[in-house]
Structure 1
Amino acid sequence: MDIQHLSVPEITAQYTYKTWSFQKGWKPLHVVDGEGCYFIDASGKRYLDFSGQLMCMHLGYKNEAMIRSIEEQARKLSFIGPGFATDVRAELTKELLQVMPKGLEKFFFATSGTEANEAAFKIARMYTGKTKIIARYRSYHGSTMGSIAATSDPRRWAMEPAGKIPGVIFAPEVNCYRCPIKHSYPECDVACADYIEHMIENESDVAAVLVEPIVGTNGILIPPKEYMPRLREICDRHNVL
């Protein structure tokens, strides 16, 4: 087939992969533009982008301040390895130090959440000398071998066992609407957090507990106000990050 006679959606579907989906029958929407909180298809139809694409377009399309910043930096220094010091890296560090809690004073700059989580696994294991990571069901942490291992939704299943790293175990998610351990809040006294302590005590070798403060792609699950402080106390008590 002469690729020159194919449309943009046909080329995309036939010669590239879509993520997190079956490939057969894929008919991608041809998007040509974006402005503010809208993206626009080839027919001119505008779509209100409620999700900010992959939760990364919160400043909107064609944000002039962002465009100017990208252009200025590209004209000055488009890339330099992480072993060098740069003005922009130092400026961002100073801004972060103004807002981060006391004690959080060392930063690793990554290009994605997946990359950040991969680095967190390595740091936790090197710092503690332990190996296991406790994640929760109904969670999403990325698509690489480490982060997908900590992702507990159906997207992980196709990667098992060869496509993920070992050493991740799962605890019940915090879901007061449909509690996975059949309790009711507030009478439960946040039993789902105590369950994680039970796991730490009986698993041994736990380096870290990985949680989303508010679960995103698996249901917008908001924990009760006691949950995160309780989890912090449990981890501190057992020398777990």
Structure 2
Amino acid sequence: MSDLPQLSAERVHELDRAHVFHSWSAQAQIDPLPIASASGVRFTDYDGREFLDFSSQLVNVNIGYQHPRLVAAIQEQVARMATLAPGFAYDMRSEAARMIAERAPGDLDHVFFTNGGAEANENALRMARVHTGRHKVLAAYRSYHGATAGAIALTGDPRRWASEPGMPGVVRYWGPHLYRSAFHASTPQEECERALQHLRDLVAVEGPSTIAAIILESVVGTNGVLVPPDGYLAGVREICDEHGIVMIADEVMSGFARCGEWFAIQRWGVTPDLITFAKGVNSGYVPLGGVVVSQRIRDTFADRPYPGGLTYQGHPLACASAVASMRIFEDEGVIEHSRRVGEEVIGPELARIAERHPSVGEIRGMATFWALELVRDPSTREPLVPYNATGDAAKPMAALAAACKERGLWPFVHMNRTHVVPPCVISDEDARTGLAILDEALEVADSFVV
């Protein structure tokens, strides 16, 4: 006999509306869709409607839904030891830490586990401040680092506004984004050089001796899938080395096959001081995140207690799922597949889509991490909807999302962009199916072009 109830769609919806408080939502204005099951790259509602997932939920189901080996690993672990306090040493945490460290660049040989990405960034920030004895942190405008107090203060997009004034010491900078350049650049090289000079100037006027860290997303995620120009990350590394600043690479979204590498920053051969991760490490089957720590920062705490911890950090179920996930990645060539499907299917198909639709201002991305920048006027690059649009102003993007869903595709839409971020294991056929639906749905966006 199971202690788990079998609820109808109506009951699920009724209880949700009666008792669940949703994140990032006006509670009276949402109508969550009850989901009955998920498998592979699709999920299904209680009416049997199937959706091809081009969002990977929150860009985290990298390995797809219900992978049998990953499910079995969690079942095996829960049967032999479901939980343990983090002060003990235990096999799955030790093995998960070893595997992550071996796949990280340079001397990032130690792992501090958390329950998710926001907590990872909180602890990376704390490590940097204690290690340097400084308090300022440079964080980009086009960024998202989480919703806890410190992480939301680091975040550069409008989601931070309601939490302000926040943690002191955060200084904003503009990262590279050639399509909407803050530096009036006309080539990737110009954008790289000017963005780095902007960062150097900011360090100089803020005082290098006051700056603990520069945090960046190796490839910016929700704020546009912004792939840095060649040389930019190496330039940031040089600035940090020059002034004793800790370089933090937020890989919560971009890591673990999403960009066709274990960690996206490896694409450019750069080693930061700290890497934060979550999401794709185990595809969210059990909550898990962490910080990969360099030797020199680890040495700061060799004889000095680290001032932080979490009850569930390195949870046995989470670590077992991470171990199984990384083994699956290697056995099934998930990283190589993600890279190839981006190069051979998603990228070329999106280029053809862009040629057909005047609403597509730019496509950008890599592997299974892409965005379409949608515009109302291709010549002026006016966004399809205003920055941080709500209500009637946001209707064009809402209409596009509805058109996708009506056709069985679940999109990831943010501001004036739709992202193509399916599970990294998506087949060529499924990728083409989803892109064909998106191609059709973009006619809705085209209807708003002036």
Give the TM-score of the pair, scaled to structure 2: 0.50
Structure 2 counterpart of 1:240, which letter?
A: I
Q: Which residue number in structure 1 is paired with residue 184 of structure 2?
A: 182
Structure-2 separation of matches of 1:235 and 1:77: 43
Q: Which residue number in structure 1 is paired with residue 96 of structure 2?
A: 92
Matched, 1:191 2:187: no
Structure-1 separation of matches of 2:12 and 2:60: 24
Stretches of structure 1 lacking an aligned partner (at least 5 in a row): 1-5
Q: Which residue number in structure 2 is paired with residue 217 of structure 1?
A: 222
Structure-2 separation of matches of 1:188 and 1:110: 35
Q: Which residue number in structure 1 is paired with residue 327 of structure 2?
A: none
Give the counterpart of 1:122 among 109, 126, 129. Answer: 126
Structure-1 separation of matches of 2:162 and 2:175: 21
Q: Shift of residue 79 of structure 1?
A: 1.3
Structure-2 separation of matches of 1:27 and 1:236: 50
Shift of the 122–41 alpha-carbon distance from structure 1 to 2, 3 Å rule, reads same
Shift of the 106–176 alpha-carbon distance from structure 1 to 2, 3 Å rule, reads same
RCO higher in structure (CA 8 A, sep ≥6): 2
Q: Which residue number in structure 2 is paired with residue 228 of structure 1?
A: 233
Structure-1 separation of matches of 2:228 and 2:243: 22
Structure 1 counterpart of 2:225, which letter?
A: I
Give the TM-score of the pair, scaled to structure 1: 0.92
Stretches of structure 2 lacking an aligned partner (at least 5 in a row): 1-9, 247-450
Structure 2 counterpart of 1:228, which letter?
A: L
Matched, 1:145 2:111: no
Structure-2 separation of matches of 1:61 and 1:140: 25
Structure 2 counterpart of 1:195, which letter?
A: H
Q: Shift of residue 10 of structure 1?
A: 3.4
Matched, 1:106 2:110: yes
Q: Shift of residue 23 of structure 1?
A: 2.1
Q: Shift of residue 26 of structure 1?
A: 0.9
Partner-residue secondary structure (3-state), 1:48: strand
Equivalent residues in 2 for 1:153-172, closer than 5 Å:
153-161=157-165, 164-172=166-174
Structure-2 separation of matches of 1:102 and 1:220: 25
Structure-2 separation of matches of 1:137 and 1:77: 43
8 Å contact 1:38–1:46 — kept in the other structure?
yes
Structure-2 separation of matches of 1:104 and 1:143: 26
Q: Shift of residue 223 of structure 1?
A: 0.8
Structure 2 counterpart of 1:208, which letter?
A: A
Alpha-carbon displacement from aligned partner over 1:173-228 (angstroms, at most 9, x marks no partner): 21011102322222345211221121111112110001001111111111101100
Q: Which residue number in structure 1 is paired with residue 352 of structure 2?
A: none
Structure whose residues are more often strand by fraction: 2
Partner-residue secondary structure (3-state), 1:107: strand
Structure 1 counterpart of 2:180, which letter?
A: R
Structure-2 separation of matches of 1:178 and 1:230: 21
Equivalent residues in 2 for 1:19-98, closer than 5 Å:
19-98=23-102
8 Å contact 1:130–1:206 — kept in the other structure?
yes
Count of residue pairs the alignment pairs up: 235
Structure 2 counterpart of 1:132, which letter?
A: K
Partner-residue secondary structure (3-state), 2:138: strand
Structure-1 separation of matches of 2:143 and 2:11: 37
8 Å contact 1:142–1:148 — kept in the other structure?
yes
Matched, 1:202 2:215: no
Q: Percent identity?
A: 38
Q: Shift of residue 115 of structure 1?
A: 0.9
8 Å contact 2:177–2:191 — kept in the other structure?
no
8 Å contact 2:101–2:111 — kept in the other structure?
no
Matched, 1:9 2:10: no
Structure 1 counterpart of 2:117, which letter?
A: G
Structure-2 separation of matches of 1:125 and 1:30: 43
Structure 1 counterpart of 2:174, which letter?
A: P
Structure whose residues are more often helix by fraction: 2
Q: Shift of residue 59 of structure 1?
A: 1.3
Structure-2 separation of matches of 1:62 and 1:25: 31
